[in-house]
């Protein structure tokens, strides 16, 4: 068993395009859940409309990729309004129900025969992001040190992805330390108190839902560009729960939480993927586990990691455990 | 604790000659409530035919537990919708106006069960109360210079209030670490940041230690002397009698009596209301037995 290459895989996962993309989507969820207390269980829906905004614009309508990205972000704004207008005046659980349903409804709609002329149905769309890769400044080849290396394509997506992570985090940082962010956190703590001080809570929740949703759509668009394809079934509800896992790992309501969370999450997933595969290959587990089980088992390990975390650092890696001990009635 | 002189000061002077009858008209009302009723299922929580609150006074709302005082607060401040009725604040109709707008118009309330923002620091809690903050708009929020100056002014005012309410030492602590009494103080400081013209305090002394209660009462009278109108829900009869210019008594949702503290103390309906529900009283009320309000010491 080549431990160095397994570790290399893990490290590659930590910084690869997926880690950056999930970090972006988790930053959006952090705006909702971490700062405003909105229970959005359908962040994947925002990723989906972002991804399909790009894919449909380019592959179906033949528009430019950059217009496609804007279309994707616009769709996220519309989705946030559709979800928020009826539910944000009600108790928090209504948003939770609406968002989890919306994610599934959208997925079924995009994969339906009815939508096939636009979305490609179950097969999805592909090969729409060439203009992005034409801008790739890295000549073909492999880049890296030792077992940690990336091809020029991944390196380009990673570079753009992590730059976006930094820019979006900076934006969120500027916003949450402002009086605007103070109102969001007040809404998270107690809506009625914020209202009694003259704050239009509904409007702030809506702004938060739109902002976090658009950030989620940025992640979705980059995900579609990264793999040059969209398929409805890659946007299933479990993605949202990975994002929650990331957020809780890193620390909700902190700026670096979603970033650190995504890096750790992807390290665990890719490291154990490689580890289990080579262990199975070496016959360590006999007949107990075969190659097909590996995919599931690595997420069991993520779950185990989360349980350990809840036991020892319940506020997340970066969260302030003092906050959890507060009597926040 | 000792009660202050019961005679209405200059602030209560406007009420001289107003007859002590429920629903009586006042010379200069800031809040006028007409036929406001709220039912929870079959339970009549509030049903007020007419009530006026005189500007620039401390008006206490008393009544046994469950009389509808908090529900009345919720209704007039827009936190609950009445089944029927209208009310005006400074002459403006408020029925159907959302709570946050009512607060911005200068009618600010606190809650009986405190609503501190636990994972915000004390100073943040207070700063939140300031209205018209440029930095609360999405785009300006991103550019600190556009709100930094205003933020400094707000912070200075917030620090002053923390000082005044003996909370300066808690300035940078999470409000969730506060005691019940401190939370009451924080809520009041925060409400004052909104620049209320009518401040509605729902049991602001509950859980506040006696020494602090005195200074809190001092603050409340000072606010009144500065021209603010205050509605106070309070169970401690010493406090009510000492600080109020006018007292309104609720029972089972109805306004059963109004008058100066002197009038109320002798009012048969008030005595009956408290006697009728005396079993519900001991947990929340003052050491004074309100069932015999005539025996309340009236320190000159
Ligand atoms: N949300 C509610 N649902 C049902 N009943 C309520 C609700 N709020 C208050 N009540 C009832 O209305 C009555 C008045 O309550 P409240 O206004 O809290 O009284 P007070 O503040 O004078 O003690 C009580 O009988 C109470 O049980
Ligand atoms: Mg009450």
Which string of DSSP letters, residue by residue, matches B112-136?
Answer: SS----TTSBHHHHHHHT-SS-GGG
- Indicate if ligand 1 lies below 6 Å from the C-beta of B68: yes
How far, in Å, are A46, B122, B165, B202 from residue B223 at the CA level? Answer: 50, 22, 13, 16
Q: How far apart are CA A241 and CA A50, in angstroms?
A: 18
Of A172, A182, A190, nearest to B123 by C-alpha is: A182
Q: How far apart are CA B254 and CA A308, in angstroms?
A: 57
Nearest CB to A178; choose among B120, B147, B193: B147
* pLDDT above 90 for A244: yes
Q: What is the pLDDT of residue A88?
A: 94
CB contact under 8 A, A197 and B147: no
Measure in Å the smallest separation between the Cα of B271 and chain A Cα atoms: 34
- Strand ranges inside chain A, DSSP E: 125-126, 142-145, 148-151, 229-230
- Indicate if ligand 1 lies below 6 Å from the C-beta of B40: yes
Share of chain A above pLDDT 90, in %: 76
pLDDT tens track, chain B, 300 positions? 444 444 445 566 788 888 898 999 999 999 999 999 999 999 999 999 999 999 999 999 999 999 999 999 999 999 999 999 999 999 999 999 999 999 999 999 999 999 999 999 999 999 999 999 999 999 999 999 999 999 999 999 999 999 999 999 999 999 999 988 899 999 999 999 999 999 999 999 988 888 888 888 999 999 999 999 999 999 888 889 999 999 999 999 999 999 999 999 888 888 888 876 544 444 444 444 444 443 333 333
How far, in Å, are B211, B264, B287 from residue B1 at the CA level? Answer: 9, 20, 10
Strands B107-109, B92-93: pairing is: unpaired
Q: What is the pLDDT of residue B272?
A: 86
Q: What is the pLDDT of residue A314?
A: 82
Q: Is A195 on the interface with B (CB under 8 A)?
A: yes
pTM (2 d.p.)? 0.91
Q: Is B133 on the interface with A (CB under 8 A)?
A: yes
Segment holding B179, helix H or strand E: none
CB contact under 8 A, A189 and B138: no
Task: Provide the angle, in degrees to the nearest 10, between the axes of the packed helices A179-189 and A152-176.
Answer: 80
CATH number of A3-324: 1.10.3470
* pLDDT above 70 for A277: yes
Q: How far apart are CA A45 and CA A21, in angstroms?
A: 15
Alpha helices for A58-148 (secondary structure H):
65-87, 92-111, 116-119, 130-134
Residue nearest to atom 11 of ligand 1 (CA): B45
Q: Chain A: residue nearest B177 by CA?
A: A326
Structural domains in chain B, CATH included, are 10-115+199-275 (3.40.50.300)
Contact A240, A19 (CB under 8 A): no
Compute and round to an integer the Cα radius of gyration of chain B. Answer: 19
Which three-class secondary structure state does DSSP give residue A148? Answer: strand
pLDDT tens digits, residue range A5-51?
899 999 999 999 999 999 999 999 999 999 999 999 999 999 999 99
Q: State in Å: Cα B200 to ligand 2 middle.
A: 12
The count of CB pairs under 8 A between chains A and B is 115
CB hemisphere CA count around A234 (13 angstroms): 15
The sign of the dihedral angle between the CA atoms of B264, B266, B272, B275 is positive
CB hemisphere CA count around B70 (13 angstroms): 12
Write out the two tokens for A307.
Answer: 């349980």
Write out the two tokens for A300.
Answer: 């069991």
CB contact under 8 A, A196 and B99: yes
CB contact under 8 A, A179 and B135: yes
> Between B229 and A312, whose confidence is greater?
B229
Q: How far apart are CA B11 and CA B246, in angstroms?
A: 10
B46 CA closest ligand 1 atom index? 14
Q: What is the pLDDT of residue B281?
A: 41
């Amino acid at each position: 068993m080549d431990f160095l290459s397994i570790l290399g895989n893990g490290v590659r996962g930590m910084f690869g395009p997926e880690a950056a993309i999930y970090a972006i989507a988790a930053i959006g969820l952090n705006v909702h859940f971490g700062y405003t207390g909105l229970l959005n269980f359908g962040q994947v829906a925002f990723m989906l409309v972002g991804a399909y905004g790009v894919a449909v614009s380019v592959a179906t309508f033949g528009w430019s990729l950059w217009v496609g990205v804007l279309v994707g972000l616009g769709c996220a704004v519309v989705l946030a309004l559709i979800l928020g207008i009826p539910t944000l005046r009600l108790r928090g659980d209504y948003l939770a129900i609406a968002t989890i349903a919306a994610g599934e409804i959208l997925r079924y709609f995009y994969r339906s025969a009815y939508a096939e002329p636009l979305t490609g149905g179950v097969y999805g769309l592909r090969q729409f992001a060439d203009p992005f890769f034409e801008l790739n400044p890295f000549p073909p080849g492999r880049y890296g040190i030792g077992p940690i290396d990336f091809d020029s394509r991944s390196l380009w997506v990673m570079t753009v992805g992590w730059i976006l992570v930094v820019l979006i985090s900076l934006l969120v940082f500027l916003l949450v330390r402002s009086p605007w962010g103070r109102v969001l956190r007040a809404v998270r703590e107690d809506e009625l108190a914020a209202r009694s001080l003259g704050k239009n809570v509904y409007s702030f929740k809506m702004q938060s839902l739109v902002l976090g949703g658009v950030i989620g759509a940025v992640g979705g668009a980059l995900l579609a560009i990264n793999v040059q394809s969209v398929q409805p079934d890659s946007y299933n509800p479990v993605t949202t729960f990975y994002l929650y896992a990331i957020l809780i790992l890193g620390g909700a309501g902190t700026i670096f939480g979603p970033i650190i969370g995504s890096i750790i999450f992807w390290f665990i997933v890719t490291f154990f993927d490689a580890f289990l595969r080579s262990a199975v290959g070496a016959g360590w587990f006999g007949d107990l586990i075969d190659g097909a089980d590996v995919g599931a088992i690595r997420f069991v390990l993520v779950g185990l990691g989360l349980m350990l975390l809840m036991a020892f650092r319940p506020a997340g890696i970066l969260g302030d455990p003092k906050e959890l001990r507060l009597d926040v009635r | 604790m000792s009660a202050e002189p019961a005679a209405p000061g200059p602030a209560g002077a406007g009420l001289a000659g107003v007859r002590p009858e429920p629903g009586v008209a006042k010379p200069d009302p800031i809040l006028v409530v007409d036929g406001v009723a709220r039912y929870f299922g079959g339970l009549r929580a509030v049903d007020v035919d007419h009530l006026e609150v005189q500007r620039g006074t401390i008006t206490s709302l008393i009544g046994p537990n469950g009389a509808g005082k908090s529900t009345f607060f919720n209704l007039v401040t827009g936190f609950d919708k009445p089944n029927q009725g209208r009310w005006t604040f400074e002459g403006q109709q408020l029925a159907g106006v959302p709570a946050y707008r009512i607060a911005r118009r200068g009618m600010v309330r606190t809650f009986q069960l405190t609503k501190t923002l636990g994972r915000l620091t004390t100073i943040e809690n207070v700063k939140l109360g300031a209205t018209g903050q440029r930095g609360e708009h999405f785009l300006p929020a991103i550019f600190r210079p556009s709100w930094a100056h205003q933020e400094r002014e707000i912070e200075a005012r917030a620090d002053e209030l923390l000082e005044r309410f003996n909370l300066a030492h808690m300035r940078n602590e999470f409000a969730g670490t506060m005691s019940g009494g401190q939370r009451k103080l924080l809520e009041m400081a925060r409400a004052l940041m909104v620049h209320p013209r009518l401040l509605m305090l729902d049991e602001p002394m509950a859980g506040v230690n006696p020494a602090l209660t005195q200074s809190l009462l001092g603050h409340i009278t000072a606010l009144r002397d500065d021209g603010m109108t205050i509605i106070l829900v309070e169970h401690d009869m010493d406090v009510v009698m000492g600080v109020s210019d006018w007292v309104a008594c609720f029972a089972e949702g109805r306004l059963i009596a109004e008058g100066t503290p002197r009038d109320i103390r002798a009012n048969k309906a008030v005595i009956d209301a408290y006697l009728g529900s005396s079993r519900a009283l001991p947990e929340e009320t003052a050491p004074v037995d309100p069932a015999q309000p005539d025996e309340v010491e009236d320190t000159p």
